[in-house]
Amino acid sequence: MFQALTILITILVGVIVHYIYNFVIKPWIKENREKKKSTLFYLILFLVLLLTIIQFFPKKLKVESQATNTRLDSLIDLNTEQVALNAEELEILKKILKNQELKQIESPISTSKTKNLLSNNTTNKHFNEFIKQYNLKEYDQAINILTNLYKKVCTKKCKSPIKKVLAILHNNRGSELSDAKNYQDAVLYFDKAIEFNKNFIEAYYNRSLAFKEMEKYNKAIFDLKKTLEINPHFSKTYYTLGNTYFKIKEYDKAIASFTQNLISNPKHFESHHNRGICYMQQNRYKEATDAFNKCIELNPKRTEPYMNRAVINAFNNNRKQAEKDLDQAYKLDPTKKLKIEKIKKTFRL
């Protein structure tokens, strides 16, 4: 819609300029040439007027794109999901590492090996060291300790709870790397976590966030859909899916995802707000305004809906309401001064 309007206005300006030059300026120059009147001044005046027209229309055309250029990323919760080992899991792990529940292991080590392993209490020592490193969140150290013990007490096909714990450790380390913006290495840890636990929902979700930051949006969407396949009610999945669709300009799918999230969480501010942004991108200003009104109802201290509503009002020549919204945004957060001034300059408020 916006591109089509730009082309139409450009053609219209070109036709007007062509008409003025050929039927007004050119005949006037020819008529007055013999009178030796200087036409330079009038030509310059004409060019100034032409440049003014050209400058004016693009500004009006860019209003919409500038208006909707809200940083959606600033509202996305990019915190990855770390998973804590509960007391029950630790107790199971301790028993397995002490070889007291070998019946849970498909390919247990032999009795002689068990006796040798327990004779010097080595396993218990390793377990205590593992707990120490885990509590310090030194996940790589904890992984190394547990992996060595894992190789001793079960085979690759073993379905021991040790695999579940290793999955958690790899996920948590990947989460740390992701929070440090080392997304490429984070993905490797999430891969490993999923290898240990094929239905590890947090690992799929976290990997989707890393893929999204790497701009691998299709892979991110795949992981988010896998997350919903495992648990259709997993927190934030529909919301993150909506944000990812927004990145690839699939606005209808983004709106559907935000709407789905609002079914289970009708007071989710960010879903209402980002759905409003999508409506703005589609020039659906009535729906966008309704979304921002709902945001203000949910949290009147957030500045984003006031600023976006101001943009819509200004675009629709409702200048007083636009100025009122911008004034309110500034009162709530003076640090938004530059953004507010940019909006005012764009719309000449």
- CA distances (Å), origin 304, targets 67, 183, 231, 270: 12, 29, 32, 10
Six token digits for residue 124: 């218990």
Residue 78: predicted pLDDT: 38
Q: Are 288 and 276 in contact (CB under 8 A)?
A: yes
* pLDDT tens-digit series, residues 69-82: 433 333 333 344 44
Cβ(343)–Cβ(67) under 8 Å?
A: yes
Q: Is the pLDDT of residue 8 over 80?
A: no
What is the rounded CA–CA span in Å between residue 111 and residue 124? 18
- Closest by alpha carbon to 187, among 154, 223, 159? 223
Range of the structural domain that residue 281 is part of: 87-347
Residues 144 and 278 in one domain: yes
Closest CA to 253 of 266, 243, 262, 265: 243
Classify residue 205: in a domain, yes or no: yes
Asked if residue 72 is part of any domain, the answer here is: no
Q: Is residue 79 a part of any domain in this protein?
A: no
316 falls within a domain: yes
Same domain, yes or no: 49 and 93: no
**Number of domains composing the chain:** 2
Q: Is residue 77 part of a domain?
A: no
| Residue 128 banded pLDDT, cuts 50, 70, 90 | confident
Boundary (domain end) residue, out of 67, 100, 123: 67
The verdict on 136 and 19 lying in the same domain is no
CATH code of residue 306: 1.25.40.10
Using DSSP, state whether 85 is helix, strand or coil: coil
More reliable by pLDDT, 213 or 15? 213
pLDDT on residue 165? 82
Q: Tell whether 59 is covered by a domain.
A: yes
Give the range among 115-129, 176-190, 246-260 with minimum mean pLDDT: 115-129
- Percent composition of the chain: helix, strand, coil (DSSP 3-state, to 5): 75, 0, 25
Between the alpha carbon of residue 193 and those of residues 81, 167, 177, 256, the distances in Å are: 13, 4, 14, 30
What is the pLDDT, as a whole number, of residue 345?
87
* Domain co-membership, 135 together with 16: no
- 323 pLDDT band, cuts 50/70/90, is very high
Q: Could you give the percent of the chain with pLDDT greater than 70?
A: 60
Higher pLDDT: 206 or 26? It is 206
Counting Cβ atoms within 10 Å, is residue 212 exposed (0-12), middle (13-18) or buried (19+)?
buried
Does one domain contain both 61 and 105? no
Higher-confidence residue: 288 or 115? 288
Check whether 291 has a pLDDT greater than 90.
yes
Q: Are residues 264 and 139 in the same domain?
A: yes
If you write DSSP's letter for every residue of 220-240 in order, what string do you get? HHHHHHHHHHH-TT-TTHHHH
The pLDDT tens digits for 298-316 are: 999 999 999 999 999 998 8
Using pLDDT thresholds of 50, 70 and 90, give the confidence band for residue 194: very high
Q: 56 and 112 share a domain?
A: no
Based on the fold, state whether residues 17 and 103 are members of the same structural domain: no
Is residue 167 one of the residues assigned to a domain?
yes
Tell me what the mean pLDDT of segment 49-65 comes to: 50
- Domain membership of residue 184 (yes or no) is yes
Q: Helices 304-315 and 337-347 meet at what angle, rounded to 10?
A: 10
pLDDT value at 179 more than 60: yes
Per-residue confidence (pLDDT) for residue 48, from 0 to 100? 66
